[in-house]
Structure 1
Amino acid sequence: MEFLTLFKALILGMVEGLTEFAPVSSTGHMVIVDDMWLLSEEFLGKYVANTFKVVIQLGSILAVVIVFRNRFIDLLGLNRLFKKEVKMEHGQSRLKLTTVIVGLIPAGVLGVLFEDYIDEYLFSTETVLVGLVTGAVLMIIADKFAPKKPQIETVDQIGYKQALAVGLFQCLALWPGFSRSGSTISGGVLLGMNHRTAADFTFIMAVPIMAGASFISLLKNWEYFTLDALPFFIVGFISAFIFALVSIKFFLKLINRIKLVPFAIYRIVLAIIIFVLYF
């Protein structure tokens, strides 16, 4: 496989890793970088290119698992096996696996019911533009109307009602360009969480729902895992993993200070760029 092709895999993995969990829409960035510049479908073919995008998403998911490894060990009840404990800051409460599952139900159900419709009718540049701008508006509203003193300062304080409400906000992310983290962090903030807590819960919920969707897509497209395409997949996966790892850690350190408005402004600028370049 040519060096230039592998370099394109590196770039696409980088874009995926840097944007998948930030509230800026990885789909919007892929429209610019891939659909308008790299054009992976032209040199890989449509189905191999789509499979590649699933592979690099798995790289991003692995990065979240690494960052929140102690939390996932605790959720799965594997503390004794790995000799890890999550430090408790507020009493003896602890985030439960069932709480996470409740948060996953709304988007999971709608995703299964409308997957074919979304893939066929909603993945276009026009719909991505709508998602970018609408999501930005939601983020600005969240920052403006967020409680001055958040009542929920750690994910261990999140109950079933809050989890379900955040899960309903996550349904907005089924619209391409809206951004999963943008919608769920906004929802969490409006529900009385601080920005870091909303981000933590967003990332924890993202792993099972993204992993499930990715593995289903991989099973459907397993025939496109050829030896010729394998180096491209490997480079993209590693690139997405490394850049997602850096991006997540950086984002979590900053989110309580910068909040959502700067990301909202960036999204609006991105929408304008896509509009000018595409139309």
Structure 2
Amino acid sequence: MPPGIDVNVPNAARMYDYYLGGKDNFAVDRAAADAVLSVAPEMRDAARSGRELIKRVVRHMIVERGIRQIIDIGSGLPTRENVHQIAQEIDPSVRVVYVDRDEVVCRHGQALLSSANTTMVQGDLRDPAAILADPGLRKLIDLDEPAGVLMMFLLHLIPDGDGPHDPVAAIREALAPGSVLAISHAASDARPEHMAKISAIYQRANSPFTPRAPETIRAFFGDWPLEEPGLVHLWPFAELPAGVDPDLAAMGYGAVAVKRR
């Protein structure tokens, strides 16, 4: 086992991998994830729906907004239909940098990502300057040109005490006009007792679970105008897919915003 990797503490990224049916997880992750599933069996559907949301957002960035470089912060373990695969299927020249703070995630990603236009770097959103200065990121990303930034299912894993709005603001400030920011986030105003039980289980993991109110989530975008339809229940740019429980969609919010030119 590589140094610095604790297999005795549940890991949020590996738990998410387990929800998706992946194999890059340990017994402690599966136990914690099963505890969440006992309270919220829809979590597997939520994880899969989240992948569909990412696909729609990436396509919107590239096709509708002309973005040709993407930073995926808090990317988690590589899984099926990754951001670079979605993006480069549309345009092979799109450059993608994955960022995650977890060493296991980064080791897996660096081993799997061999494209000249794709890389993975280790970084923590709470230190945005280090992320933006990383040589691996700067090799592919030109901050003087518009970039797409994904923070999907990330910010609810950063507690209020860490001041998550500040590093997001620093990222926004560093991006060129025309850049696009996409965020999805767990909601505190839907089934609050349910969310409280999930949050209690995540207290055992390496990241807490902090669902937030819609106005608090909207504040992550600062003064950037939101794309239509605004901050909605996790299904921007599409009708709610057939078979998806509306209560499941209501468990989170998503939005996309563009920096004014």
**Category of TM-score, reference length = shorter chain:** under 0.3
- Greater relative CO, 1 or 2 (CA 8 Å, sep 6+): 1
TM-score w.r.t. the length of structure 1 is 0.26
Report the structure, 1 or 2, having the larger strand content.
Answer: 2
Report the structure, 1 or 2, having the larger helix content.
Answer: 1
